[in-house]
Amino acid sequence: MTDRSVSLCVHSGVQGVHQISWLTCRFTDEKVVLNKSRHVETHFIPRQVMLQFGEKGDPPINPDGITFLLTASKLDLRRYVEGVEPEELECELRRYSTEGIHVRWPVQGALGFNRWFSCTLKHSKGLFMVTGVLRHPSDQGPPGQQDYRSWPAISDRELLPMTVAMVIKTQTPVVNARLRSEQKLHCKFAFDHRGPKVTVEWHRQHRGERSRLFSHDSRSGQTHGSGVALKGLARGVASYTLPFTKTISEGTYICSVSVVPLFASLDISLHIEEPPRVSLNVGPTLVMEEGKEQKIMCEAESYYPLDVDIAWYEQDLQASLENVLMSSHKHNADSTFSLAAFFYLQASLNASGRQFTCSVTHQSLRVPIRQSFILEVEEPSSWMLKLTLGFLVFILLAVLARLNSARRHSVQKKPD
C-alpha cells in the first residue's frame, strides 16, 4: 500500500515533486451520554480512517473503511508537508465543536450548514506540526444545543467529502535554547478565503500559570503586547520573537488563531539548556612524590537544568573510581548550577604513568565532556635532589644579581 500513498505531480513543467495521495489516520470519535447521576460523560472511541486527497466523486481507496476525502480548495494540507514521506507523518483526526455558534462560512456552497473536524499532522522527528480545520458541508441545521451533545454518527464505510477551511503550522514544535539567545517561535496560518476578521494571540504557560504575551484583533485594530511583527500578520506570519532567553523563559508557548466560529492553536515547548564548563584543579601532568596525597577536583560550572553526572575514571574509562565525593549543588546568580566531584590521590610508584579522566554528562551535551591528566610519581630521593638543585640555582642567581648590582654602583661612583 505504501507505493500508492504518494503520486508524482507537475509544477511549472518540472517533475519530481511527490505529493501524498492518502494517509492512514487515527480518528478519535466521541459519544456524549448522561450517566446515572445525570452528569455529562464523553466516551472516546478510537477508529482507523483514511485521509484521502482527491476530487469530488472519487471512489474511496479503501471501500471497507471510513474515508475523509479532502477535495480541492484554496488550501491544500499537502502543501504544508512537501518533501516528507508518508511514514514520517503522524496523522490524527478529531471532531471539532463550535460550541453552539453557527456562522455562515464565506465559501459555503449550496449546503447551508457545516460539520467540522480537525486534522493534525506531526513529523515523527518533531520537525513541524500542522493543524487544519476541515469543513464537511451538510444540510442538517444546528441541534439547538452544544453540538458535541449530539454528534451525527459516522458509519464504518462512510465517505465524507470535505475541504480545508483554515491551517496553522509551526516549524518549531520543540525548541532547545541557550541562555541569552534570541529565539523565533515559528507560527503561520492561512484561510480558504480572503480578508477574514482574525484574532491572533500568544500565551505562555508554565507550572500551571498562563500569561498573555501578545494579541491582535484585525476587526478592531487593537494590539496588546509585543514580539510579533504586525506587517507579517497580513501574510499569515505570526511568529513570536524572544530577544533574550533566561531560565524563566521556559514553558509552553501557545500560538492561537481564531475566526468565528473557528479556533486553532499550536503548542511550542521551549527548554533552556546551558552546557557546563568543565575544569580540573591540576594541569595535564601531575608530578607527585611517592607517599604524598593531593585533593583532585573536577568542577562542572554554569549548567542548566539541574541534573548532571560527574564520574572519575582511571586508565581506559572502564573502571570508575569509588572513592569520589560530591560537593553540594551551587545555585548561581543567573539561575545556573555548579557541582564538583573530588577524591584524594595517594601517590605510589606503581601508579606512575596512569591517566585519570573526569567525564561530565548533561542533557545539553551530545557527548560527554572529558578532562584528563597523567600522574607522574617520583621517589623521595630524586624529589629531594631536585629541590636541592633548585635551591642552589636560586642562590647562584641571587649572588650573580648582587654582583651585577655592585658593579653598576661602582661604575657610577668613578670620578671623571
Burial class (CB in 10 A: 0-12, 13-18, 19+), 278: buried
Residue 149 clears pLDDT 90, i.e. is over it: no
The predicted model gives 213-221 an average pLDDT of 95
Mean per-residue pLDDT over the chain, rounded:
88
Percent of the chain whose predicted confidence (pLDDT) is above 90: 69
Continuous segment of H or E residues that includes residue 397: helix 380-413
The predicted model gives 52-79 an average pLDDT of 93
In a domain, 7, yes or no: yes
**Does residue 154 share a domain with residue 123?**
yes
Q: How do beta strands 159-170 and 66-70 pair? A: parallel
- What CA–CA distance (Å, rounded) separates 314 from 354? 7
- The pLDDT assigned to 7 comes to 41
**Does residue 265 share a domain with residue 323?**
no
> Where is pLDDT greater, at 391 or 75?
75
What band does 140 get if pLDDT is binned at 50, 70 and 90?
Answer: confident
- The pLDDT assigned to 106 comes to 87
**Does residue 199 share a domain with residue 178?**
yes
The predicted model gives 164-168 an average pLDDT of 96
In a domain, 125, yes or no: yes
- What CA–CA distance (Å, rounded) separates 61 from 74? 23
**Does residue 220 share a domain with residue 326?**
no
Residue 134 clears pLDDT 70, i.e. is over it: yes
**Does residue 139 share a domain with residue 4?**
yes
Residue 382 clears pLDDT 70, i.e. is over it: no
For residue 248, the domain's CATH number is 2.60.40.10
Of 164, 190, 205, which marks where a domain is finished? 164
**Does residue 247 share a domain with residue 303?**
no
**Does residue 235 share a domain with residue 148?**
no
In a domain, 38, yes or no: yes
Q: Which residue has the cell 548561581?
A: 332
In a domain, 388, yes or no: no
C-alpha cell at 405: 648590582
**Does residue 143 share a domain with residue 194?**
no
Cis status of the peptide bond prior to 46, with omega within 30 of 0:
no
For residue 132, the cross-strand partners are: 119, 167
Residue 236 clears pLDDT 90, i.e. is over it: yes
CB 156 within 8 A of CB 88: no
Domain count, the chain: 3
Domain hosting 231: range is 171-272
Query: Residue 50's CB: how many other CB atoms inside 10 A?
Result: 20
Helical H runs in 121-193?
none
Strand segments, DSSP code E, in 36-112 are 40-53, 66-70, 89-96
- The pLDDT assigned to 148 comes to 75
Torsions phi, psi for 78 (to 5 deg):
-65, -30
Query: Residue 336's CB: how many other CB atoms inside 10 A?
Result: 20
How far does the chain reach from its first CA to its final CA, in angstroms?
Answer: 111
Concatenating the DSSP letter of every residue in 124-138 gives: TTSS-EEEEEEEEEE
- The pLDDT assigned to 2 comes to 41
- What CA–CA distance (Å, rounded) separates 249 from 269? 11
> Where is pLDDT greater, at 177 or 320?
177
What band does 410 get if pLDDT is binned at 50, 70 and 90?
Answer: low
Instruction: Tell if the pTM clears 0.85, that is, is over it.
Output: no
Tens digits of residue pLDDT in 13-26? 222 334 789 999 99
Residue 122 clears pLDDT 90, i.e. is over it: yes
228 secondary structure, DSSP code: S
CB 198 within 8 A of CB 285: no
Residue 369 clears pLDDT 70, i.e. is over it: yes
Length of the chain: 416
Burial class (CB in 10 A: 0-12, 13-18, 19+), 62: middle
